[in-house]
Chain A
Amino acid sequence: MQHCLVVDDSSVIRKVSRRILEEMNFRVSEAEDGEKALSICLADMPDVVLLDWNMPVMDGYEFLTRFRRLPGGERPKIVFCTTENDIAHISRALEAGADEYIMKPFDKDILTAKFQEVGAL
């Protein structure tokens, strides 16, 4: 079973994402900020990370920058998932190393298509 880490400071978004991802047959972990997400990655590396942009403590951009510096081999696919929908934000996320980008709100069809795109399904 594939493992997806959902990183978002909104408990509602985490809950909705978990429900959709479990329907897609994923094992789901949750983190409310980038720092907790990094700890989870070090202990139990996911196959894919659904990552919010704006979060307290450590935002998605900083998480991604630090995450990419971690030593080691296999890296999960990173899918940014935010309300920021302008081209500048999307480009910045991709330059930082994101594999895909989802604009909130999203549904199961969108998540499925994006995960297929990055090869996580």
Chain B
Amino acid sequence: MTELDFEFLCAFLKTRSGLSLTVDKRYLVESRLGTVCRQSGIDNLSLLVAQLRSGRRSDLETAVVEAMTTNETFFFRDKGPFDLFRDVLLPRFLAARASTRKLRIWCAAASTGQEPYSLAMLLDQASARTAGWQFEILATDISTEVLEKAKAGLYNQFEVQRGLPIQMLLKYFTQVGDQWQIAPHIRAKVDYWPLNLIKGFNHLGPFDIIYCRNVLIYFDKTTKTDVLERLTNIMMPDGALLLGAAETVIGLTDALSPDPVNRGLYGKASHSSATPPMGLVASS
């Protein structure tokens, strides 16, 4: 792969998915796109780039974007954001939305479905308190391939062990050969839709809670700011945004402000300046 090929791929991926690559990620490009070459019967990366330049291989364009997408995820990943949902956000929104009895949640980078299903299981466990409520969990991802896996709800032994307590495995999964499938009533709580975050998503909102974790880290500063501000636009005034442990809004936008009590939780700056921190609301 020549320098020009690498520069083309960086620009291509930036435009298509927002992925910001630096020179030190060249090995990653070679490794992941080498697999695409083998699967597509293309001899080398330069020939792959030539095909992309032609603009006539939309199948290859999709394969390249999907190959460069990181899909690392597991059930209840990092634990804290899910404890926060169960102990703080859910009680808070059950009180705040008592008149409408509707709650809309968006998992913006859902990957293979473990995050939205974790939330769906927590909602199921709260069902005694939520009779008559309408919950909507929208799960989106740029990769249609991972969304297909998510919809099937089939996971291998490694995947179900990462973060999923054994009691929840027994309660919500059945064995299918050497795999485990999540229960139909949990699967039915989640709607999947392909979505590229660098494109428009205003039509999806508004949301009460948005999980957008471990995706902004792959974007450059301008793209992060753009995505964060558009996320803010489709949050309810008292809505909540959860980012990954290595992500922040500080230095990127003034439209959101961090919750002083709960790490990784953000609210609209205009709203949170006038109200106590979310954690304090829930514990009062």
Contacts and interface: CB of A to CB of B under 8 A. Distances in A.
Contacts of B164: 113
Contacts of B76: 113
Contacts of A100: 165-166
A87 B175 contact: yes
Interface string A82-120: 000111001100100000111100110110011011000
B166 A113 contact: no
Given A86-B175, A116-B79, A109 B162 contact: yes
Interface in A10-33: none
B162 A117 contact: no
B170 A102 contact: no
Contacts of A110: 158, 161-162
B162 A90 contact: no
B36 to A, nearest CB: 27
A55 to B, nearest CB: 20
Interface in A48-98: 85-87, 90-91, 94
A117 B175 CA distance: 22
A71 to B, nearest CB: 28
A87 B165 contact: no
Contacts of A107: 158
B284 interface: no
B106 interface: no
Nearest to B159: A110
A102 B161 contact: yes
Nearest to A91: B170
B211 interface: no
Contact of B165 (A85, A86, A103, A117): A117
B167 A103 contact: no
Contacts of A86: 175
B167 A94 contact: yes
Contacts of A94: 166-167, 170
B74 interface: yes
B157 A109 contact: no
B279 interface: no
Given A86-B175, A110-B158, A101 B74 contact: no
Contact of B157 (A85, A87, A114, A116): A85
B75 to A, nearest CB: 9
B171 to A, nearest CB: 11
B162 to A, nearest CB: 6
B161 A113 contact: yes
Interface in B41-89: 74, 76, 79
B163 interface: yes
A110 B161 CA distance: 6
Interface in B144-188: 157-158, 161-167, 169-170, 175
B211 to A, nearest CB: 19
Nearest to B157: A103
Contact of B161 (A87, A91, A114): A114
Closest 7 CB pairs of A and B: A101-B166, A110-B161, A113-B163, A117-B165, A103-B157, A100-B166, A109-B162
Given A100-B166, A116-B79, 10 more contacts: A86-B175, A90-B166, A90-B170, A94-B170, A101-B166, A103-B161, A109-B162, A110-B162, A113-B74, A113-B162
